[in-house]
Amino acid sequence: MGMNLEGFDATKVEPAGEGYEALPAGSYQAVIVHSEQKTTNAGDGEYLKLQIKIEGPTHAGRVVFDNLNLKNPSEQAVAIAKATLSSICRAVNVLSPKDSSDLHGRTLTVRIGCREYKGQVQNEVKGYGPAEAGGHMIAEAFAAPAQQKPASPW
């Protein structure tokens, strides 16, 4: 039998997920808490979907996602995904993972950016770096590239 919800009025309580503003761009300590293999919408490839929980210094408990196109008709997409996976592996010091779950629960630094999508500001993961003892980022891990490429429209 379920729980008695008599007296609850959903019109008087904000729904979960509504009103969540995007995280401010910046670097955060985080852990990968879940990963799964997914098929692309086009059905012509597979990607690794990462669920990343922020630990601080602010916004602890918030979650961001990243997708790594490890099997894709686009060789460039696969190369980018493999380079990103290498950054993650190096950041958590698991250089030859047997399964994506080997990367879970290990503190790393995640650089978060913002982009506009369908009129809303959304977060996107821009990079990964190692965490030092005490949870501070190694600044050199996120040295800015010499030239920023424009965001891809897809």
Would you state the pLDDT for residue 1? Answer: 65
If one compares 20 and 47, the residue with the highest pLDDT of the two is 47
Say how far apart CA 44 and CA 101 lie, in whole Å.
Answer: 24
Helices (H), the chain: 75-92
**Domains of the chain: residue spans and CATH:** 22-134 (2.40.50)
The pTM assigned to this predicted structure is: 0.74
Question: Does 74 score more than 80 pLDDT?
Answer: yes
Say how far apart CA 94 and CA 102 lie, in whole Å.
Answer: 7
CB-based contact 122:22 (threshold 8 Å): yes
Residue range 83-107, pLDDT digits in tens: 999 999 999 999 999 999 999 999 9
Residue range 15-36, pLDDT digits in tens: 665 457 899 999 999 999 999 9
Mean pLDDT, all residues of the chain: 85
Which run of H or E residues covers position 139?
none
